[in-house]
Structure 1
Amino acid sequence: MIRRLAAAALSLTALLALTACGADSSADTATSQDEVTLTIGDQAKTLQTIFAASDALKGTKYKVKWAEFEGAAPLYQAVQANAADTTYSADLPALQALSGGVKFKNVAALKNDGHHTALIVPKGSDVKSVKDLKGKTVVVSSAKGSIAEYLLANVLQQNGLKYSDVKVQYLLPTDAQAAFASGKIQVWATFGVYQAVGLQQGGRVLIDGADGRISGYGFIGASEKALASPAKKAALGDFLKRLGTALEWTSTHQDAYADAIVKLNGADASVAKTLASAAYSKVLPITSEVNGTVQGVADLMNGIGVLEPNVDVAKSADTSVLK
């Protein structure tokens, strides 16, 4: 099994999601897009909501099925088990999966401004700056090696602290959300909808990932098995272009996108508005600039013992799918 992801074994929910996604191995032998089914890996219905709101999948020749997961670790396990064709995550979970031996390639980069990842503290906390974190317990969402953990490691380093100056605990986002709401967390390193809910519950942003404190890059990846099918690879190229169109729509129609998050995900209106403003805004080809920036992420996390073995980012990409 996968060394690095073994601790995040599939839960019953994840297993049900795998069954529900209906991955169809018969599509591997398809010779045209008309016969192809792409099983798209997703987290917290993010991609599904974007496509439903923008209608960017209208008119595809191939079929799309969704494999839905709470976090990146079970999503990558699904790809390893050939139960999903694609991955979707921030840069560090992708690096962690590659380090653990999952067989996939990054095929496109996503980009945002970093505000969607933050260290947050409860209302009334005496933690006023990063230097105040020394000696504190920081809960990281979710499994070891999340983008929230990179933010923590990077800002500690920038402020002259060592990673060993804090005590790190790992909790899945939903569990951490409940603990934060009940006042059991001193500092929470989190992201996305969980960050938005934490702030709604009275939390305060200590520092976020803007201004280069995180790379802002995410990745769409594809299993090596999917990439070996010419028809699936062609369909994936079309899907990535449509994702670019969908993300452009979300950046220019934030109110409509927020309404879709409320309707399809059951989020509170204020949380939905925050999520809509923090979404990835671009799909980009994987360039040397992308690889160089993310290699810096890999090197830092390898240096503190979180990413082991290290990853050669450039070798983990397939640039032929999205030019």
Structure 2
Amino acid sequence: MFHVTFGRHGALLFMLGMGIHAATRAEITLRIDHQKSSTLMSILKLQGTLEQRLAQQGVKISWYEFPSSLPLLEALNIGHVDISADVADTIPVFAQAAEADLTYFAREESSPDAQAILVAQDSPLKTLADLKGKRIAVTKADGSHYLLSTALEKAHLTFKAITPAYLTPADGLAAFQTGKVDAWVTWEPFVSSAERRQNTRVLAGGQGLASYQRYYLSSSAFAKQHPEVLALIYRQLTQACAWVTAHPAEAAQLLSPLWGNLDAATVEQANAHRSYRVVPVTRDSLAEQQRIADAFTQAELLPKRIDAQAVSVWQPPAS
């Protein structure tokens, strides 16, 4: 045990040093991008809990919303943001092929029922084989893209057997409503909204085709410089999951205005199709990432084959 004493000037210098350190910490701004389907991060944003916890560490948040995962991750790759939350499992594969320096720091467990291939209620399409020769709306490089790929493979078809219309969810919905496409592949909450509002039926869901995991990513530079911030975000995400699971109706009411004024019943139905359980990323858990990469390479949507495990992975500290 030891003691430190300060004279008058020493105490002044100590306080000035603390002030400089605090000011330096207060200048840190964490830039987070997300989308409407980033439910847990949206909950934290709406409730203000993440901002409160980070403020205690001298960190401020700037929020950026994107319409889908691909532009969201592009923003992370070029350094416009520090954290992406959360993206469909396909997106990191495309980023890796582009040699983006990204780090996985959390994932949501499988939610195969959270995406689907939709057709009009009176559509003559009854089976996956009926997709041959059809025009299909899908968001390029997103989880729905992989679902469509595996569905075609199951029907012994290739991507060349269809005409893909690469559209954002909003544009995909518009094309679907006006009959410009024969089918629409999308994810929640768009699936539940279409089922409840658009006289739509599910031609195929993700069961047995795509497990649909969602990942939280950081720039590798930020992960190395601020692991304590990732640890705090990870804890907050697990707490948000617990809250959504325990309060489904309340969560739906909170998210309803955010999700394009969807009614709370639709939001609650959509949430029921997502696991939201946040767990660490392990090398073994990246097995489907490799299957996604191989499928897109075979379809000539990736320029080269990649090793999905050759990525940076951050692990939360033991509790």
Cα distance per residue 1:2-43 (max 9 Å; x no partner): xxxxxxxxxxxxxxxxxxxxxxxxxxx999976643222201
TM-score normalised to structure 2 length: 0.83
User: 2:221 — aligned with what?
Assistant: 225
Counterparts of 1:241-280 in structure 2 under 5 Å? 241-265=235-259, 266-280=261-275
Give how far 1:162 is off: 2.6
User: 1:24 — aligned with what?
Assistant: none
Moved more, 284-293 or 40-49: 40-49
User: 2:32 — aligned with what?
Assistant: 40
Alignment match of 2:70 (pick from 64, 70, 73): 73
For structure 1, the 5+ residue unaligned runs are 1-28
Is the 1:145–1:307 Cα contact (8 Å) retained in structure 2? no
What is the alpha-carbon distance in structure 2 between the residues aligned to residue 254 and residue 31 of structure 1?
40
Alignment match of 1:120 (pick from 93, 118, 121): 118
Give how far 1:70 is off: 0.9
Provide the secondary structure at the position in 2 that maps to 1:315: coil
Flag the 1:285–1:31 CA change in 2: closer, same or farther, 3 A: farther
Partner AA of 2:167 in structure 1: L
Alignment match of 2:305 (pick from 305, 310, 323): 310
Count of residue correspondences: 290
What is the alpha-carbon distance in structure 2 between the residues aligned to residue 289 and residue 32 of structure 1?
39
Give how far 1:287 is off: 1.4
Is the 2:108–2:279 Cα contact (8 Å) retained in structure 1? yes
Give how far 1:321 is off: 4.5
Provide the secondary structure at the position in 1 that maps to 2:65: strand
What is the alpha-carbon distance in structure 2 between the residues aligned to residue 303 and residue 136 of structure 1?
21
What is the alpha-carbon distance in structure 1 between the residues aligned to residue 41 and residue 278 of structure 2?
16
User: 2:202 — aligned with what?
Assistant: 205
Moved more, 193-202 or 237-246: 193-202
User: 1:22 — aligned with what?
Assistant: none
Is the 1:49–1:260 Cα contact (8 Å) retained in structure 2? no
Give how far 1:59 is off: 3.4
Alignment match of 2:43 (pick from 38, 45, 50): 50
Taking every aligned residue pair, what percent have the same amino acid on both sides?
26
**1:161 counterpart = 2:157:** yes
What is the alpha-carbon distance in structure 2 between the residues aligned to residue 165 and residue 82 of structure 1?
38
Counterparts of 1:88-99 in structure 2 under 5 Å? 88-99=86-97
User: 2:135 — aligned with what?
Assistant: 137
Provide the secondary structure at the position in 1 that maps to 2:106: strand
What is the alpha-carbon distance in structure 1 between the residues aligned to residue 107 and residue 25 of structure 2?
23
**1:301 counterpart = 2:296:** yes
Provide the secondary structure at the position in 1 that maps to 2:112: coil
What is the alpha-carbon distance in structure 2 between the residues aligned to residue 276 and residue 206 of structure 1?
20
Give how far 1:84 is off: 0.9
Partner AA of 1:37 in structure 2: T
Partner AA of 1:79 in structure 2: L
Give how far 1:160 is off: 2.4
What is the alpha-carbon distance in structure 1 between the residues aligned to residue 212 and residue 48 of structure 2?
25
What is the alpha-carbon distance in structure 2 between the residues aligned to residue 301 and residue 132 of structure 1?
22
What is the alpha-carbon distance in structure 1 between the residues aligned to residue 68 and residue 25 of structure 2?
29
Counterparts of 1:230-241 in structure 2 under 5 Å? 232-241=226-235
What is the alpha-carbon distance in structure 1 between the residues aligned to residue 299 and residue 87 of structure 2?
22
Partner AA of 2:39 in structure 1: T
User: 1:21 — aligned with what?
Assistant: none
Give how far 1:172 is off: 1.4
Cα distance per residue 1:215-245 (max 9 Å; x no partner): 321111101221231xx22111210121011
What is the alpha-carbon distance in structure 2 between the residues aligned to residue 136 and residue 53 of structure 1?
41
Provide the secondary structure at the position in 2 that maps to 1:264: coil
Give how far 1:187 is off: 0.8
Give how far 1:291 is off: 1.3
User: 1:183 — aligned with what?
Assistant: 179
Give how far 1:257 is off: 1.0
Give how far 1:315 is off: 1.6
Provide the secondary structure at the position in 2 that maps to 1:314: coil
Give how far 1:56 is off: 4.6
Give how far 1:253 is off: 1.5
Partner AA of 2:251 in structure 1: Y
What is the alpha-carbon distance in structure 1 between the residues aligned to residue 113 and residue 317 of structure 2?
26
What is the alpha-carbon distance in structure 1 between the residues aligned to residue 250 and residue 149 of structure 2?
36
Larger Rg: 2
What is the alpha-carbon distance in structure 2 between the residues aligned to residue 69 and residue 99 of structure 1?
21
For structure 2, the 5+ residue unaligned runs are 1-20
Is the 2:40–2:276 Cα contact (8 Å) retained in structure 1? no
